[in-house]
């Protein structure tokens, strides 16, 4: 019974949501891992799943040392799947409401030392047109705080 709902969910992602192949594959794998965990806990139907099972699975993922980005995607897959189960009447309650994704770790930007900036600014050969262009681009990046992708576009 668990597998049939997953198969229906994959069809839903493909046909109704128009999800990309990568999303379908990732979500399918994530939901199948959840189903395996629940099957090991002797759960036969999705309607038997409750908040304790969900918390147990999240703790299991943490014990398995799943890092934040995969865990966040896994939680997103579970939320989507539980919404689907509720809409399609596989369950009586929407367990997706119980799930919050892991908080993203805020990473400070890396920066260059003064010596590195000076070496970088001195690197272009300003006697050539490409060198002048490169120097202008570096000056613009440094003075304005633009990202490289913003400068390129």
> Is a pLDDT exceeding 80 seen at residue 16?
yes
Closest to 138 measured CA to CA, from 126, 120, 153, 150: 120
Q: Is 145 left (phi over 0), alpha (psi -120 to 50) or beta?
A: left
Q: What is the percentage of the chain residues whose pLDDT exceeds 70?
A: 92
**Between residues 123 and 50, which one has the greater pLDDT?**
123
In the prediction, which pLDDT does 139 show? 92
CA separation (Å) from 132 to 136, 139, 146, 152? Answer: 6, 11, 19, 16
Task: Give the phi and the psi of residue 105 in degrees, each rounded to 5.
Answer: -75, 135
* Residue 96: per-residue pLDDT: 75
The pLDDT of residue 51 is: 84
Which SS3 state, helix, strand or coil, does residue 103 take? coil
Please tell me the predicted confidence (pLDDT) of residue 101: 59
The residue-averaged pLDDT of 25-38 equals 91
Lowest-confidence region among 4-18, 48-62, 113-127: 48-62
Supply the DSSP symbol for 135: H
Q: Which of 150, 142, 147, 145 is nearest to 124 (CA)?
A: 142
Encode pLDDT of 68-105 as tens digits: 677 778 888 888 998 999 999 888 888 777 777 556 66
pLDDT in tens, 115-145: 998 999 999 999 999 999 999 999 999 899 8
Instruction: Give 66's pLDDT tier (boundaries 50, 70, 90).
Output: low
């Amino acid at each position: 019974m668990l597998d049939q709902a997953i198969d229906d969910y994959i069809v839903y992602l493909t046909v109704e949501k128009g999800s990309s192949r990568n999303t379908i594959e990732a979500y399918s794998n994530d939901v199948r891992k959840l189903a395996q965990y629940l099957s090991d806990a002797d759960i036969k139907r999705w309607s038997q799943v409750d908040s304790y099972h969900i918390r147990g699975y999240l703790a299991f993922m943490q014990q398995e040392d799943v890092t934040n980005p995969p865990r966040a995607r896994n939680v997103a897959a579970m939320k989507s799947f539980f919404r689907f189960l509720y809409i399609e009447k596989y369950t009586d309650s929407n367990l997706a409401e119980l799930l919050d994704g892991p908080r993203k770790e805020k990473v400070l930007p890396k920066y260059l030392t003064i010596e590195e900036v000076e070496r970088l600014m001195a690197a272009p050969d300003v006697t050539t047109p490409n060198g002048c262009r490169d120097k202008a681009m570096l000056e613009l990046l440094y003075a304005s705080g633009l990202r490289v992708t913003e400068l390129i576009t």
